């Protein structure tokens, strides 16, 4: 996986440099709406082009699925799932919490994931069966066992308003049982923070594959568990996402699952 890491790191770093250079310098002309509560910037698109150029230049037989560009024409056993700027709204608002996320799937299974925060210069990455790392230092999931001590993260279903009611019900219950929760606006970073123990769990009811594919592997290689709200393997499509350490996972699944059945 060393060649994969080097190319993924180069792609994420070049995209991250572009993002950092443009942070808090956007003009109105740089921002477009893709739909209700769904924004994209010139920087998102340019960052994705940078990533695609680096990957295709070294792995011409690999297909790429990007948030902005969809699937590339190339088809094969290898698929890169790319979010060039996870946390676009934060980026637009001048809030320094966003990331670049890259995942490599081989025959449908995630074998490599990388999440890069260009502001803090933190790079979270993992390869299947080889553990998880932040800036080359090994990371592990938290050991919190009790819900009363658990510190979690979530995301609002702003792109799926029909899920707002069950989300609000679960949020109310969780807030009455756990220590506290955060909603910071980058699902990829939330998953990375679960992997390194900053959060004990993360849940969100409506995410796209580029939001969670890299984070899924990083959490699992750090010793955690991921699934959708029905306990099923996360698919390469829109899905709910739950990630937690092994002590809290089943408790959270039993609590959340019935509301989204």
The model's pLDDT over 200-240, given as tens digits with 9 standing for 90+, comes to 999 999 999 999 999 999 999 999 999 999 999 999 999 99
**Cβ neighbours around 17 below 10 Å, total:** 13
Q: What is the pLDDT of residue 38?
A: 72
Q: DSSP letter at 71?
A: E
User: What would the two tokens of residue 249 be?
Assistant: 């996972």
Look at the chain and report how many structural domains it folds into.
Answer: 2
Euclidean distance between CA atoms 81 and 91, whole angstroms: 21
Dihedral angle at the C-alpha atoms of 146, 148, 154, 156, nearest 10 degrees? 140
The verdict on 188 and 224 lying in the same domain is yes
Burial code (b: 16+ CB inside 10 Å, e: under 16) for 160-185 equals eeebeebbeebbeebeeebeebeebb
Range of the domain at 204: 147-260
At 153, which CATH number? 3.40.190.80
Helices and strands: H and E segment counts in the chain:
7, 15
* Continuous H helices in the chain: 2-22, 42-58, 88-93, 164-177, 187-195, 209-221, 249-256
The closest of 110, 127, 142, 129 to 246, measured between CA atoms, is 142
Picking from 74, 106, 138, the residue at the C-terminal end of a domain is 138
Is the domain of 153 the same as that of 180? yes
DSSP 218: H
Q: Are 65 and 210 in contact (CB under 8 A)?
A: yes
**How confident is the model at residue 40, as a pLDDT?**
87
Q: Mean pLDDT over all residues of the chain?
A: 95
> What pLDDT shows up at residue 149?
98
What percent of the chain clears pLDDT 70, i.e. is strictly above it? 99
Q: Which of 103, 118, 138 is the last residue of a domain?
A: 138
User: Is residue 257 pLDDT above 70, yes or no?
Assistant: yes
Contact 148, 177 (CB under 8 A): yes
For the cut 90, the answer to whether the pLDDT of residue 39 exceeds it is no
Higher pLDDT, 38 or 139: 139
Distance between CA atoms of residues 177 and 59, nearest Å = 47
Domain match, 153 and 134 both? no
% of the chain surpassing 90 pLDDT:
92
Q: Are residues 12 and 73 in the same domain?
A: yes
| Shared-domain flag, residues 79 and 152 | no
Quote the DSSP letter at residue 121: T
Residue 37, pLDDT score? 67
The token pair at 162 is 């029909």
CATH of the domain at 55: 3.30.540.10
> What whole-number distance in Å separates Cα of residue 59 and Cα of residue 235?
24
């Amino acid at each position: 996986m060393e060649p994969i890491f080097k190319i993924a790191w180069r792609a994420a770093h070049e995209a991250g440099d572009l993002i950092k250079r443009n942070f808090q310098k956007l003009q109105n002309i740089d921002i477009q709406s893709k739909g209700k509560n769904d924004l994209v910037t010139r920087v998102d698109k340019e960052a994705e082009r940078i990533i695609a150029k680096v990957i295709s230049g070294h792995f011409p037989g690999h297909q790429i699925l990007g948030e902005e560009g969809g699937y590339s024409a190339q088809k094969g056993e290898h698929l890169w799932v790319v979010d060039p700027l996870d946390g676009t709204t934060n980026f637009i608002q001048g809030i320094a919490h966003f990331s670049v996320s890259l995942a490599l799937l081989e025959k449908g299974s995630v074998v490599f994931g990388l999440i890069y925060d260009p502001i803090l210069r933190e790079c979270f990455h993992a390869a299947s069966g080889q553990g998880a790392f932040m800036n080359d230092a090994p990371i592990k999931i938290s050991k919190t066992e009790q819900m009363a001590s658990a510190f979690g993260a979530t995301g609002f279903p702003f792109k799926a308003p029909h899920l707002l009611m069950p989300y609000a019900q679960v949020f109310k219950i969780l807030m009455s049982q756990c220590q506290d929760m955060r909603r910071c606006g980058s699902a990829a970073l939330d998953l990375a923070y679960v992997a390194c123990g900053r959060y004990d769990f993360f849940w969100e009811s409506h995410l796209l594959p580029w939001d969670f594919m890299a984070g899924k592997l990083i959490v699992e290689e750090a010793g955690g568990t991921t699934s959708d709200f029905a306990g099923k393997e996360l698919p390469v499509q829109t899905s709910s996402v739950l990630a937690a350490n092994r002590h809290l996972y089943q408790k959270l699944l039993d609590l959340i699952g019935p509301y989204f059945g």
